[in-house]
Amino acid sequence: MARAVTAGLERKVTSAIRWSAVNSLLQRLGQVGVGVLIARLVAPEQFGVFAVALVVLNIVLSVSEMGVSVALVRSDKPVDELAPTVTTLSIASGVLLCLACVVGAPFFAAAMGTPQATGVIQLMSVSLVVAGASAVPGALLQREFRQNHKFVADTSGFVVGTTVVVVLAVLGFGAWSLAWQRIAVNLVSAGVMFAYTERRYRPGFDPRQARELLAFGLPLAGASLLVFGVLNVDQIVVGSVLGTVPLGYYLLAVNLANWPVAAFSQPVRSVSLAAFSQVRGDPELLARTFARALRLLALATVPACVLLAALADPLVRIVYGERWAPAAQALALLVLLGALRVALELGYDYLASAGRSRAILVIHLVWLVALVPLLALGAHLDGIRGVAVAQSVVVLVFIVPAYLLAFRPYGLRARVLGAAVARPVLGGAVMVVVAVGVQWVVEEPLWRLLAGGALASLAYAAVVFPLRHEVLGLLRRSKA
């Protein structure tokens, strides 16, 4: 019976990963294409204005439903018992935070030296209300591994949002076009998720359930706030120390560096919390599941990150244009951070499934405290490149050891995790040698990009060829 249950769960997980991978890859490819077009229509300064608004939205979104939707995903209790209270808490927090953003927008924009971002912040704060209202449908799709329905929601939002941003950018709306895109995407995606939710849960309130939900959710929400603080404090430092135009360059570099994270980490993270939660009663199986997920992520993420890092300069110049060339200064180093984030985010879900929300909170508090002074120092010493260096140093010196320490009670040792990613990392090192060698020999940017990418990819494939059964096995189970 246990074997049958495990097999059924594995089929659900692999099917969900397949749908989520298709969703994520199509979304990222589409966003890259749209991003190139928008970069040629919108000036770096307008990107900087949008970046200021995005910082505010991302930080507040991290606590918009106080972590209670995650509690709904991992809980063993009946959904009908929890959902009404989760709905009430999510909507209430979304509305209150939206009002706080509307009132506080002028002060934050002025502190960032970008007062023209005030209206954009206020408009984008509407997303907080939408996020609160759609928290339960989104959690149910994740809990039930219905990533095929999530695919429809995200694709619908992307199509409508792309139409909005392109039309408004052509008409000269600048940063406002990007803000309206965000609103359109959220509204359409939320509407589709509601349509796929079989049960409608009206707001309700059970004090006992609320206390239990908040006991788990608030530390996780605090950790999420710190996560988004960690991910966005660099933009705050760049904007306040270096100005709006460097912030525009930096935002482009961040978006490119995050592409592997979004394309490869998101499909796994869409099911990892629910999957880890369902096998957490078997520590050995849980450890094997984590190590295997980490290896699969590394197989896909390492080559993408190496190519972005090694070919940053020709990539930015050819694809985005010469005026965006300064973004390449930070891109190569930010890609290293992105590769590490893929592993750390999986670790985040592992600890969350084990109920270690306080450990997550402490790790990210340490991260933020260590990061802020080094970011300021890096910005003063070497501009946006110095900021990127500071982030990578903090992660390598403080955060990776902190996660390894948190894993120890569950039998996840550095040796086991290192063995899981050893061959992909070796393949990445070979890619670096090949790509850098091509940069030395070839001068033309286009040929540097094409030849370096092709030869480095072939070298990686040769190194990781013995692991081909990992990917093929996953595909076979997905088709079964």
How many Å apart are CA 48 and CA 24, to the nearest integer? 26
Q: Which two tokens stand for residue 265?
A: 């980490």
Q: Residue 1 — very low, low, confident or very high, per pLDDT cuts 50/70/90?
A: very low
Q: Residue 480 — very low, low, confident or very high, per pLDDT cuts 50/70/90?
A: very low
93-133 confidence digits (pLDDT tens):
888 888 888 888 888 888 777 788 888 888 888 888 888 78
Between 290 and 429, residue with greater pLDDT: 429
How many Å apart are CA 227 and CA 349, to the nearest integer? 13
Amino acid 17: pLDDT: 56
Distances (CA, A) of 178 to 40, 231, 337: 14, 20, 26
pTM (2 decimals)?
A: 0.62
The DSSP output letter for 324 is G
Which helix (H) or strand (E) segment is 221 a member of? helix 207-237
369-400 confidence digits (pLDDT tens):
898 899 999 999 998 899 989 988 998 899 99
> Of 39-53, 176-190, 409-423, 438-452, which range is least confident?
39-53
Closest CA to 228 of 370, 56, 53, 396: 56
Burial of residue 10 (CB within 10 Å: 0-12, 13-18, 19+) is middle
> Of 165-174, 207-216, 345-354, which range is least confident?
207-216
Amino acid 5: pLDDT: 43
Between 403 and 225, residue with greater pLDDT: 403
What percentage of the chain carries pLDDT values higher than 90?
Answer: 4
Helix axes 283-310, 266-278, angle to 10 degrees: 170
| pLDDT beyond 60 at 241 | yes
Closest CA to 262 of 426, 10, 5, 31: 31
Between 31 and 196, residue with greater pLDDT: 196
Amino acid 471: pLDDT: 57
Neighbours of 8 (CB within 10 A): 10
